[in-house]
Structure 1
Amino acid sequence: MSLRILLVEDNDENREMLGRRLKRRGHELHFAVNGAEAVALTKAETPGIVLMDLSLPVMDGWEATRQVKADPATRAIPIIALTAHAMDGDRERAFAAGADDYDTKPVDLERLLSKIAALTGSPA
């Protein structure tokens, strides 16, 4: 079953690699390269889930997550926060911003797919 996924990632290589892997699994991908674009696309595309990088230009992933979760039209959309620079407290900060789950990069695809399935109820 296809899931509409918004992948928010400013690094071209990371975005292309993870996007390709998720598409091969049959998912429909939409992309944003900064937090402001992520907020706008979440409203416009109503994805089944958002994979949100936390270190983004224009608006960081922390603030983008807060804005998505503050909007009644988008607050129910699950968000998995992704970060390459995991620091003490980042997991807690991500949950405080409204993320539904948290994962680190480099992405372990099977672990990420398991988290996506748990949050969306759709097979990964």
Structure 2
Amino acid sequence: MTDIKIGDRVRVVKDDPDYQPGNFVGRLGRVMETDSDSLPYRVELDDPSDTWADGAWWCEKVELVDEAPTNDAPAAPPADRAFFLRQARELLDGQTWTAYELMALADDLQGKVR
């Protein structure tokens, strides 16, 4: 397992499950702070929309990425459908859901319009 540290480029895998869950999944940014609680990573996001005034968000799980942001193209979430289905399933954990609801949430996480 790779240790995430301050300054690392990361992709949000799981954000705050209690406040705007799923809204920041897939976004890229840089780790600003680490903590030992349930939301250990404070990430300054490349796309700060819907965040606090400083453009950062506390996240439960992140993964290292190699790419650096470019000024000519916005950072894009991963295009892999399975990634978004896994995220939707994680977000709905402990709840009763249908396959349609799971796929609809995956589409929402991916930014697709139904």
TM-score (norm 1): 0.27
Structure with the higher helix share, 1 or 2: 1
Bigger Rg, which one = 2
TM-score (norm 2): 0.29
